[in-house]
Structures are given as C-alpha cells and as structure tokens.
Amino acid sequence: MTLLIDSGNTRIKLGWRHPLSGAREAAPVSLHADQLDQLAAWLQAGHAPLQDMRGHGGGAIGVNVAGPLVQAQIDAAVQSLGLGAVRWLRSEARAFGLSNGYEQPGQLGADRWAALLGLCDLLNGQASPAQAALLVSFGTATTVDLLSPVQDGERRFLGGSILPGPSLMLASLKQNTAQLPEAHGRVASFPTNTMAAISTGMAAAQAGAVLRQWEQGRRRFGTPPLVFLAGGGRALIQHELHDQLQDHCRLLGVRTPPIQELDTPTLHGLALYAGLPRA
C-alpha cells in the first residue's frame, strides 16, 4: 500500500492506494500538524493497512503547501512508521492526459495540480469529453480552475483564479476593523443585521468569482462547463452559488449544470501517481 498525503494550510488529509489492485481507503483520515505524533493511531483508527505499506510497493507520496516546517514534521512522522522518505510531488507540464497551461508549469501549486489530475480522471469515467469543467476548492484560499474539453486526446488546464477563502474573508474583517465581528449569519437578499450583511457579502464575492470563471469557459467553448466543488468551506457558498448560476443560466437561455461535490480530488490525483511502477 502507498500512503497518500495532502498537506494543506489547515489540515493534513491522508489516504492510501494498493499499487496493484488500485483499492483505496474507505474514508480519508484528517488531522492537524500538531497531531502528527499520533499518526500511527490516526491511521489505525482509519483502518489503514500499515503492515502492507511497509512491504513491497509501499511508501508515501504527497503534496505540501503548508511550508517546510510542516513538511519536515510529516517526513519524520512517516519515517517513524517505517515507510521511508515521502516522495513530494511538484506540478508538471503534462501527466495522465492533462497538460498544464501555466506559463511556468512548476509554479502551479502541487495540490491544485493533483486535484486537477483527480478531476480529469473522474471526467474520463463520465463520458463528457466535449464539456469543459470548473474545479472550485474552498479552503484557506479559494481556487477556481478551468479544464478544457478533450482535444487531441487530452484535456488542458487553462488557468484559474485565487482569492481568500470563506473563513479567511470572515476572519479578515474581524481582525482589520474595529467593530465588525467574525460573522456566521444567514445569507439574505437584503440583509438587515451585521452578521447577515457580512455573511452575504462573503458568499456573494465567492460565488461571483466562480461565476466569472464559469462564464469565461462558456464563452471560450460555447457550452456550459461542468461545475465541481471541493474544500471544507464549500457549504458556506453552495446555496448562493447555485442561485447565482441558475439566474445567470436563465438569462442566457441555457440549462443550469448540476453542482457536483468532490471530497478529496487531491488524494485522487495522488493515487494516479501511486499506481505507477516505482523507479
């Protein structure tokens, strides 16, 4: 078994993949960096087959955006389990039927690249080669990334936008204003209290950023892109995004695409690498 590691700004998500059968975890394990001393216990609680990971074809593969200190802590915790050194991935110009449209492919965040690879693989099983797809991840930062339809046998990552995530937006108002709280109010058409006003403004800004990239994709390819949401902050945005997208599609006279949720697209992308023969 190969341990899969998605080290984000807030949490570390863990999965695994059998290198031959492709069998995956039933549910990912999620923990904070300060809990890495309990890694073995967390993995055992998540029914990770540690004995198989230590054997032939085992090891660990991951992406990290949490900085060198967290990466060193993960390296030490994984090596203490007898899994050897973690293979930390970087973005590439092309892999698994996806080409990277970044001006300098290596500058694309490795977590974004792995998540896009995961989505690309999922799309291959949905028989939707003629449709573009938008992957929106609501984490500490929100990323809004567009994949082209299949052209000449592959999809292309065309680029995407980055903005503060929902929780970061809410926290920034509290930290940088004298009298505004960190709000968790209801989103409303016409907010009549401060909590609702802040929550509505945040949700509208997030949904507007998504809608902008979706419209760019529709204009580019002539058909509405599919929409996929990931990340822990998506529940704060999903209803507002659905309403904005539905209203926009009604004005355009096109069918509103369903909003599909993905729990761990980055782990899915890492699993593709774990399926490759080890050099």
In total, how many domains does the chain have?
2
Q: Which domain holds residue 259?
A: 130-263
Residue 231 shares a structural domain with residue 135: yes
**166 shares its domain with 67:** no
Does 157 share its domain with 45? no
Q: State the helix-helix crossing angle for 265-274 and 110-124, rounded to 10 degrees.
A: 80
Looking at the fold, whether 147 and 251 belong to one and the same domain comes out as: yes
Note the pLDDT of residue 279: 46
Q: pLDDT tens digits for 155-173?
A: 999 999 999 999 999 888 8
Whole-number pLDDT of residue 20: 74
pLDDT for the residue numbered 128: 79
Which is catalytic among the residues 75, 111, 121, 152? 111
């492919």: which residue's tokens?
105
Residue 114, domain member (yes or no)? no
Which residues in the chain show pLDDT less than 50? 279
Contact 127, 69 (CB under 8 A): no
CATH number at residue 40: 3.30.420.40
Q: In this structure, is the dihedral angle defined by the CA atoms of residues 165, 166, 171 and 177, taken in order, positive or negative?
A: positive
For the whole model, what pTM was predicted?
A: 0.93
Helix (H) or strand (E) holding 5: strand 2-7
Same domain as 188, residue 80: no
Element (H, E) at 13: strand 12-17
- Same-domain pairing of 83 and 146: no
The verdict on residue 122 lying in a domain is no
Single out the residue in 59, 88, 117 at which a domain terminates. 88
Indicate if 111 belongs to the active site.
yes
